[in-house]
Structure 1
Amino acid sequence: MQRINRSTWIVLLAALLLPLVSMIIVPLYDTSEPRYAEIARIMAQSGDWITPWFSPELPFWGKPPLSFWAQALSMKLFGFTEFAARFPSWLCLILSNAILLAGLRLLHGLRIALLATIVYSTCLLVYISSGAVLTDPFLALGTTLSLISFAVVIHESGQRIEITGNLVGKSIGVGPARGSVWWQYGFFLGLAVGLLAKGPLAAVLSLAPIAVWYLLNRRRSSLVSALPWLKGLALVAAISLPWYIVAELKTPGFLDYFIVGEHFRRFLDPGWKGDLYGTAHKQAYGTIWLYWLQASFPWGTMLLATLVGAFVSTRLRAAVRIASTTSLFYYWLAGAVVTPLFFTFSANILWTYVLPSLAGFSVLTAILADHIYRQLGLSKRGFLITAGVVPVAVLVLSAVVWVNPDLRNTERELIRYASQDGDFSIPLVYLSKTPFSAQFYSAGKAREIQPSELGSAIKCSAPFYLAIPKERQSTVENMTGKPLIVLYSNKRYVLVKVSPLSNCSAQAIAKQQPISLQSQHLPNNADSIIVN
């Protein structure tokens, strides 16, 4: 694997571009993606760039606004589509890869830099999240920038870590080199990005690998002089602190819920019931490692197989031992494991939480792969084939979804059917609760109606579309006194058209519905959006 040829660059380019296909053809599936997309849509339409709104009457205190800012701007540029909502996450992938290439080229050379970007881009979670409406890609962008920036600063200031067995290597000089100024402040810029993407957790995940570096290197003066801490922290505060202050002033209670609730109670209280926007995800302690294995597939599986193989193969064991002497090897190891370690004893977790660990893991894997392939004289063909597993699998699944978009829970096709004329001249209501995907695809026009209100709505003369959960279809038929003619059906709902018998206004159908978007000071043309 000493030479870098065209095929290696082609694999990386394909890994970066193929997510665009899925971003265009795969609908938003409930609940996470359309929920965040709807928050961004409301922000774009309302012009409220301070407070994200979970619904027009409920502020969203669960996350800082960086991802919503990017998604809302993308929607203003590209329209209210799946691609527009997902595009900022893809940009995070591109920027993260640019950071990895630029930094690792200085640290380990172009070959390892290129291998690391291929590993990173083709990890299952990285690949999926690069084409999804999530906040985590922005956190990963910030932590990756901080992780790489600190390593470059230490390298360029002469701080070399060479670990052989239990021997911690030597320090050559103190103080940053002139060329590392951008990387010095890049570290703090990464912290600011993380604080605006996910909150204080970003600082913990960014500083922990540095703490490991310090414990191994044991040179406090080197750590203090490597970065402009006072100016850098002032930069972090200048970028991130104003929003936190303004957000609390605009919607009092935000800081208590976000700092205390989301950062302590969520993880320490199993089944935390204080979540305002969903349900806590209670898992057994240690489940994060299973998530890490899934998120890093196929490379995590390959790495474990390599380590197991090193116990029985002398040549493989020697290659792993030599790789472990590489400069900053244990810094990358800390970057790979600190996040799952942090969440090992957390009660409420998701697999997306391990995303920040995959940058360090990718560098570690690239170093090991390079040494193993060179020591054993292997072809890189197996490496490139492994890199194609996730992109090919996702592309095939995307094609299946393109043929059958209602394979999972989404309301895109139902909304399109109900708005065939490009408008909702006939109101659309969902029985009991409107799914997030229906809210997004209808631009907030789909309403909900409770079973207790349905009887009076049926008596009105204005026709309306009614989306009924399939298990409640017979109940509605009993209320109407006649069989329902199903116009459209997806995985969860059947769509019928109700033509009531007696007279009442069309507004009576939705009089109990949530506050309209107009009450949130939307522009006058907010209701003119056509569902694509």
Structure 2
Amino acid sequence: MSMKLSVKHTVDQWFNKIAKNPALSVTVSVLWLTVVGWIAFGWNLGNIGLIDETEPLFAEASRQMFVTGDWITPFFNGETRFDKPALIYWCQAIAYYILGVNEWAVRLPSAIAAFGLICLAFYTVQWYLAKQDELEQVSRPTRRYLTSFIAAALMALNPETIIWARTGVSDMLLTGCMASALLCFFLGYAGKGGSRGQGAGSREQGENSSPLPPALFPNKWYLACYVLIAGAILTKGPVGIVLPGIIVAAFLLYVGRFREVLREMRLFVGILIILGLSVPWYALVIWRNGWNYINAFFGYHNLERFTEVVNGHSAPWYFYFIVVLLGFAPYSVYLPVSIIRLKFWQRSHWRSLERFQQFGLFAWIWFASIFGFFCIAVTKLPSYVLPLMPAAAILVTLLWSDFFQDTEDRQTSSVSSSPTPPLSPTFLRVSGWLNVMFLSVLATALFNITHILGTDPAISNFHELIQKSGLPVIAGVMWLICAILVAGFLLSRRWNYIIGINLLGLVAFIIFVLTPASFFIDRERQLPLRELSAVILQAKQPNEELIMLGFKKPSVVFYSHIHVNYLGLPQEAIEHIKNQAAKGLQPASLLLLAEQKKFLQMELQPDDYKSLSTKGAYNLVRVPFKKKKNEKIDIS
């Protein structure tokens, strides 16, 4: 016992030393954030090819902007692409200019958005706990730093964030802008003063000053919030302002400060900033494309996605419960107790607190608003709830902050002081055993993953290859060990170690399972298409058409840099070839890329085509146009 206290005392001394040395504090914080960010977002980011089908659509549209210099209208494969606004394309095109046209550049904007978000979250949690210590006139550097470290780690190291931060699409950029805007709002709101608008407000006035005249915009955090909302609108449209607006409005109405805070936010000026930054591109793209853009983007990709099932993306009402459970795993089992701990239904209690003490309530309203909004929406996709993951990380972090105590706190109480009443150990024990069960089920599922996964038409022996890799066994053993360790710490009531075991388990899973698995899947599924794209670049004659039969893989367009004509059925391809032959085109041939089974269904004779390459499940052939004796052009 004395050795245990000695170790804790040493840890406290170490964190006290960090807190008293600003340079050391910054260095340690930067190192932690860099390590977490590199493991979650940077390691091998561009060493895996683009993943069909969505990622290459963004990558190629951005490449077209980079090549043509048209920064207004996005194009893919010769057609306008109005799915998303321009910011993600701009960011990727700028990355192309810096890094060249490659996978690193495609994914870098997503990784930077995620990294910037965890840095701001780290700062926000640090600031919140420092304010709490200031209010109570105590110094708890161990609790403050451990909690901030955990907040950054939970926000970065969860499956949902890792996947989208490593994918070159708009979802992570939207989440980075939206979540950062909400954190900036809270920093501006909490920095203005206490529950009665007094006290800290005068002290924070100088700190929150901005380059704009004080009478126009006195708070730099509100200004940053407006700029980031404009970025969210330029990333994904109206949802970029609708969701933050719902969250902020719901929070202010609940704490009874709606009018007061809207006045101090200079809402009218803020709206002008948002419109001034976001509207010009929308005006230009509408001016150039007219109703085609309005109907496609605002009608189909926004209104219809909310009110109707689009592209077959329907799901049952409980869909997002499963997404959050798995997407925020393994910490998601602690979300219910993190929410119950707040007792958010005690409105009078929350309204009586200082503004900064309402951080947990704000995170809960953030989480619940996004979750509820997309549960109502008819079209459902896992990526839609990505913006609530930062709020989930904050909620679980605040739960654990009660168990990261300094020596002085341990000597006086079982949990440290916080705006929420002490949590009953029963709730935490139940969540802990749920954690053990979840990890055990996860381990069992991974042991039997070949029986759970479906088939992949691009990899004929998919299950056999996975089993031979040994990765399911490694993954299952890892999570089983984690389950045993969590159970041991529960029995010994060492609560503060449990979250660390979950984090270490996920880091080990990323390094020893997820990374090798991603290389394996890339090699078997995407590499054949990249190799065929290289063959196409070498073999294609000027003006020769490329047909893709039986599947749509946009990565071929990105890697081959040529237009692809997609056809679904073998008979369509035969008719198309006959029609092209009848036109007397030069060169008198076309390239055909087809899945082997579709190619066989065309029943071409050996002299009807020339095989160029076969990779994986795909054939690349050249089909020459032939002339019959009556001079009509055919392929028979």
Q: What's the secondary structure of 2:76's corresponding residue?
A: strand
Q: 2:42 aligns with which of 8, 20, 36?
A: 20
Per the alignment, residue 466 of structure 1 pairs with: 592
Per the alignment, residue 619 of structure 2 pairs with: 494
Asked if residue 178 in structure 1 is aligned to residue 210 in structure 2, the reply is no
CA distance in structure 1 between the partners assigned to 2:368 and 2:84 by the alignment: 24
Equivalent pair of 1:135/1:198 in contact (CA under 8 Å): yes
Per the alignment, residue 67 of structure 1 pairs with: 88
Equivalent pair of 1:150/1:183 in contact (CA under 8 Å): yes
Asked if residue 359 in structure 1 is aligned to residue 390 in structure 2, the reply is yes
* Offset from partner CA, 1:258-290 (integer Å, 9 cap, x none): 234333222112x34xxxxxx241222342232
Equivalent pair of 1:142/1:190 in contact (CA under 8 Å): yes
* Offset from partner CA, 1:331-359 (integer Å, 9 cap, x none): 11111221111011211021111111112
Equivalent pair of 1:120/1:358 in contact (CA under 8 Å): yes
Q: CA deviation at 1:482?
A: 7.7
Q: CA deviation at 1:33?
A: 0.8
Q: What's the secondary structure of 2:613's corresponding residue?
A: strand
Q: 1:452 aligns with which of 565, 575, 597?
A: 575
Per the alignment, residue 139 of structure 1 pairs with: 174
Change (3 A) 1:404 1:132: closer
CA distance in structure 1 between the partners assigned to 2:579 and 2:377 by the alignment: 48
Which runs of 5 or more structure 1 residues have no equivalent in the other structure? 161-169, 273-278, 311-324, 510-532
CA distance in structure 2 between the partners assigned to 1:457 and 1:434 by the alignment: 21
CA distance in structure 1 between the partners assigned to 2:514 and 2:296 by the alignment: 38
Q: CA deviation at 1:425?
A: 4.9
- What is the one-letter code of the residue matched to 1:258? F
Q: CA deviation at 1:438?
A: 0.5
- What is the one-letter code of the residue matched to 2:575? S
CA distance in structure 2 between the partners assigned to 1:222 and 1:284 by the alignment: 40
Q: How does 1:358-397 map to 2 (within 5 A)?
A: 358-374=389-405, 375=414, 378=494, 380-395=496-511, 396-397=513-514
CA distance in structure 1 between the partners assigned to 2:537 and 2:287 by the alignment: 43
Q: 2:360 aligns with which of 317, 329, 334?
A: 329
Q: What's the secondary structure of 2:375's corresponding residue?
A: coil
CA distance in structure 2 between the partners assigned to 1:404 and 1:266 by the alignment: 31
- What is the one-letter code of the residue matched to 2:189? I
Q: How does 1:33-182 map to 2 (within 5 A)?
A: 33-56=55-78, 58-109=79-130, 110-111=144-145, 112-160=147-195, 171-172=197-198, 177-180=205-208, 181-182=219-220
Change (3 A) 1:430 1:20: farther
Q: CA deviation at 1:403?
A: 4.4
Q: What's the secondary structure of 2:371's corresponding residue?
A: helix
Number of aligned residue pairs: 472
Q: How does 1:97-496 map to 2 (within 5 A)?
A: 97-109=118-130, 110-111=144-145, 112-160=147-195, 171-172=197-198, 177-180=205-208, 181-253=219-291, 254-269=293-308, 271-272=309-310, 279-304=311-336, 327-374=358-405, 375=414, 378=494, 380-395=496-511, 396-403=513-520, 405-408=522-525, 412-419=529-536, 424-425=540-541, 429-432=546-549, 435-444=553-562, 450-455=573-578, 465-480=591-606, 487-491=613-617, 493-496=618-621
* Offset from partner CA, 1:270-321 (integer Å, 9 cap, x none): x34xxxxxx241222342232222222222134347789x9xxxxxxxxxxx
Q: CA RMSD in A?
A: 3.5
- Greater shift in the superposed pair: 404-413 or 140-149: 404-413
Q: CA deviation at 1:252?
A: 0.5
- What is the one-letter code of the residue matched to 1:451? I
Equivalent pair of 1:63/1:198 in contact (CA under 8 Å): yes
Q: CA deviation at 1:239?
A: 0.4
Higher RCO (CA 8 Å, separation ≥ 6 residues) = 1
Change (3 A) 1:382 1:199: same
Change (3 A) 1:468 1:204: same
* Offset from partner CA, 1:20-59 (integer Å, 9 cap, x none): 3342222212111111111111111121111112332x32
CA distance in structure 1 between the partners assigned to 2:53 and 2:403 by the alignment: 43
* Offset from partner CA, 1:473-523 (integer Å, 9 cap, x none): 3233434468986832224x22345567769xxxx99xxxxxxxxxxxxxx
Structure showing greater radius of gyration is 2
- What is the one-letter code of the residue matched to 1:178? G
User: More helix by proportion, 1 or 2?
Assistant: 2
Equivalent pair of 1:29/1:409 in contact (CA under 8 Å): yes
Equivalent pair of 1:159/1:171 in contact (CA under 8 Å): yes
Q: How does 1:497-508 map to 2 (within 5 A)?
A: none
Per the alignment, residue 54 of structure 2 pairs with: 32
CA distance in structure 1 between the partners assigned to 2:150 and 2:369 by the alignment: 22
